[in-house]
Structure 1
């Protein structure tokens, strides 16, 4: 059973990324394939990280996906335009962050939503690291 529609937290920035529907995204059922959504969850989270942190920070730290969970609510058709992803983060739990994503059509209807769990790692050693307090502010309102 699908969970209720995810609502952005009022204390978090909602980062919006436009999504393009490409021919290779369309499956034999004539809508965006489920696997594409997993890529979008990763791409949207990466875009948010890259937009809020400088090269030095991104060189020092990296993120490893631990889990993706997606609810498919409405198919996206091959000719769809105006598709966007809205993403925000939850509270850090040691080295882990939950990232929430809603994928919406041009009318604002939720087509899919997902929760990804990410782990902050030292980019050189790939060892998990507690999320520093100063890393939360760029994701906040």
Structure 2
């Protein structure tokens, strides 16, 4: 399984009225890293043929992050079933797990706008 990661420094724009990272910011980070991971592995042809849509999110908030914290966001694809894929995103401060997001995505064929079984050529890119 290939793990993709990014580093983020918490800024004032990430904070809510309690002066910790807003829950919606964690979700945006999860969506951003998912897209970045996808784009880092695929070629232009795949990008022209397919896109992903979220089917569901399961989020577990463990700890908080604050202004100036150095955050590491990691993601990997857990598996495939037909047109569906589970992606895990884990957000850390140092070794401490702050948030874990499990998202079920569905692959869409751009031409037909319908669900498409995840082809082997895509699956192997994320193993």
- TM-score with structure 2 length normalisation? 0.94
> Any residues of structure 2 matched to 1:65-80 within 5 Å, and which?
65-80=54-69
Write the distance in 1 (CA, Å) between the matches of 2:120 and 2:89.
22
Match of 2:86 in 1: 98
- 1:125 positional shift: 2.8
Write the distance in 1 (CA, Å) between the matches of 2:67 and 2:111.
41
Find 1:88's aligned residue among 33, 58, 76. Answer: 76
The yes-or-no answer on 1:137 pairing with 2:127 is no
> Any residues of structure 2 matched to 1:1-141 within 5 Å, and which?
12-81=1-70, 83-105=71-93, 107-140=94-127
Write the distance in 2 (CA, Å) between the matches of 1:21 and 1:59.
34
- 1:72 positional shift: 0.7
- RMSD value over aligned CA atoms? 1.1
Mark the runs of 5 or more structure 1 residues left unpaired by the alignment: 1-11
Mark the runs of 5 or more structure 2 residues left unpaired by the alignment: none
Q: Do 2:9 and 2:68's aligned partners in 1 also have CA atoms closer than 8 Å?
A: no
Q: 1:56 to 1:104 in 2, by over 3 A?
A: same
Write the distance in 2 (CA, Å) between the matches of 1:46 and 1:91.
17
Q: Do 1:38 and 1:68's aligned partners in 2 also have CA atoms closer than 8 Å?
A: no
Q: Deviations over 1:3-46 (max 9, x none)?
A: xxxxxxxxx11111222423221001110000111111111110
Moved over 3 A (4+): none
Equivalent pairs counted in the alignment come to 127
Query: Where is the strand percentage greater, Structure 1 or Structure 2?
Result: 2
